[in-house]
Amino acid sequence: MTLKALIFDVDGTLAETEEVHRKAFNKAFAEEGLDWAWSRERYRELLAVSGGKERILQFIKDEASEHLGREDLQAWIADLHKAKTRFYTEMMASGEISLRPGVERLIRESRDAGLRMAIATTTSSANIVALFKATLGHDAMDWFDTIGAAEQAPVKKPDPSVYLWVLKELGLSGEECIAIEDTRNGVLAATSADVPVVVTQSFYSAGEDFSGAVTVLSDLGEPDQPYTPLDGTATEPGWVTPKSLAMWHEGATSAPATS
Ligand code: XBP
């Protein structure tokens, strides 16, 4: 089956943004006068829950259950999350972030090759705008046929909602696409929508179970900085191109030869 679109995850895939998210959560808690401070180790555990608001609620259930009785709990969490997003977008504007290896190159090569592109993420739309402004420029968002974020799919990964929304907007089936993800939740969401997925393992997803992925790589690679293959189809160092994606996609979607 011909590859027609490339779907990118955002956090951990386009850039190592989760460390900025973690710091933004902690700034929002401090502004509220809460003594909650998520360490890297604790944040790694909390990342099992997609969605910032869902993650805050999980923490409350785990370690601050005295707040569960609040009548305004959901509104309070929403306010905390709004503050977190404010801190996140402010930090992104400071230019601390850069795209992971190979991301800009693959986006530009895919665009030049006429491969349609989309984004399927659990994060909030404001965070996507902040990332593009800080890296490729706001106009680069127009290079993507559609962008599915938390606002388009309130039920978060590993649920496939955001991928199903993106596929509907693209007018394509999952088998006509391939996704780039960095987490197990992302692999589960994509494959549940029949989208083959390539994993570029990130700082916070190292060691996760990526079963179901076509291949697992250290990153997308550059000609002078090849990726390290970690599992699956890729066995030699290299750099991901539209051509290699099409080859992996063909292998993942071609019907097994009838015996
Ligand atoms: C990553 C997430 C998001 C971010 C935080 O999304 O799970 O929740 O951690 O962003 P993805 P919000 O990997 O799908 O890009 O606080 O806006 O949810």
Q: How many CB atoms lie within 10 A of CB 115?
A: 19
Q: What share of the chain is helix, strand, coil (3-state, %, to 5)?
A: 45, 15, 40
Q: Which of 13, 59, 123, when mutated, tests ligand 1's pocket best, judged by the most ligand atoms within 8 Å of its CB?
A: 123
**In the predicted model, is pLDDT for residue 259 greater than 60?**
no
Q: Are 63 and 110 members of one domain?
A: no
Q: Are 121 and 249 members of one domain?
A: yes
> Domain limits at 117?
5-16+99-253
Q: Are 193 and 110 members of one domain?
A: yes
Q: Which of 9, 18, 20, 21, when mutated, tests ligand 1's pocket best, judged by the most ligand atoms within 8 Å of its CB?
A: 21
Residue with tokens 């127009």: 142
Q: Are 67 and 142 members of one domain?
A: no
Q: Are 50 and 119 members of one domain?
A: no
Q: Are 87 and 110 members of one domain?
A: no
Q: For the whole model, what pTM was predicted?
A: 0.96
Ligand 1, pocket residues at CB < 6 Å: 9-12, 18, 21, 50-52, 121-124, 127, 150, 157, 186
What distance separates the 2 farthest-apart alpha carbons in the chain? Answer: 66
Binning pLDDT at 50, 70 and 90, where does residue 1 land?
A: confident
Q: Are 222 and 196 members of one domain?
A: yes
Binning pLDDT at 50, 70 and 90, where does residue 241 land?
A: very high
* Total of domains in the chain: 2
Question: How does pLDDT run across 2-47, given as a tens digit for each residue?
Answer: 999 999 999 999 999 999 999 999 999 999 999 999 999 999 999 9
| SS3 per residue for 42-86 | HHHHHCCCCCHHHHHHHHHHHHCHHHCCCCCHHHHHHHHHHHHHH
Residue 9 appears among annotated catalytic residues: yes
What pLDDT score was predicted for residue 256? 65
Burial class (CB in 10 A: 0-12, 13-18, 19+), 179: buried
